[in-house]
């Protein structure tokens, strides 16, 4: 039986070119592309619908062509990436289910294809607003997770 492939329009925030000085609106463009809403058969990829995106001070440095920096530069012509909260809409990964809420690095776009879902954190506690995961809760999760792994 053939796999049913769904596509959707996907608005993305694109970095036009490396930024010098303060970022300006003209350094970015909103582009609409198509995205496949199905994870490729046999892959461990997940497709997510992005709900919340963070805009953090460190991102300004990533807009520059900064060789030797602690964080890699964004790629001009590609969507900006950053921390965000998303809902899984398709998954090829055994530990990530459709409907799961996740937090991690995602694109500044409506939908993202995550090829390394091991980098995502499942959101188990929804008794706080999901947007909190792009702020203080999101900054705290990797620290706590790494400490828990050291203890076990």
The whole-angstrom separation of Cα 106 and Cα 86 is 8
Q: What are phi and psi of 62, to 5 degrees?
A: -70, -15
pTM to 2 decimals?
Answer: 0.81
**pLDDT attached to residue 64:** 87
Q: Does domain 7-127 have CATH number 3.90.180.10?
A: yes
52 versus 137: which is more confidently predicted?
52
Give the dihedral sign, CA 70/75/76/81. Answer: negative
The lowest-confidence range among 22-26, 31-35, 46-50 is: 22-26
DSSP letter assigned to residue 21: S
Phi and psi angles of residue 109, each rounded to the nearest 5 degrees, phi first: -160, 170
24 SS3 class: coil
pLDDT at residue 148 greater than cutoff 60 = no
Residue 151, strand partner residues: none
**Structure token pair of residue 117:** 């879902």
Q: What's the rounded mean pLDDT across residues 115-138?
A: 82
Distance separating alpha carbons of residues 118 and 57, to the nearest angstrom: 25
């Amino acid at each position: 039986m053939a796999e049913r492939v769904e596509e959707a329009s996907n608005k993305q925030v694109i970095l036009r070119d490396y930024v010098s000085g303060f970022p300006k609106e003209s350094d970015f463009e909103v582009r609409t592309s198509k995205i496949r809403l199905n994870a490729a058969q046999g892959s461990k990829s997940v497709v997510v619908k992005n709900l919340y995106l963070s805009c953090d001070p460190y991102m300004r440095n990533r807009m520059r062509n900064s060789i030797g920096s602690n964080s890699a530069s964004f790629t001009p012509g590609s969507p900006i990436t950053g921390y965000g909260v998303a809902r899984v809409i398709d998954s090829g990964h055994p530990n990530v289910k459709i409907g799961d809420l996740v937090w991690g690095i995602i694109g500044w776009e409506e939908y993202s294809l995550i090829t390394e879902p091991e980098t995502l954190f499942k959101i188990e506690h929804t008794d706080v607003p999901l947007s909190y995961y792009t702020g203080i809760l999101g900054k705290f999760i990797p620290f706590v997770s790494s400490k828990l792994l050291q203890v076990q």
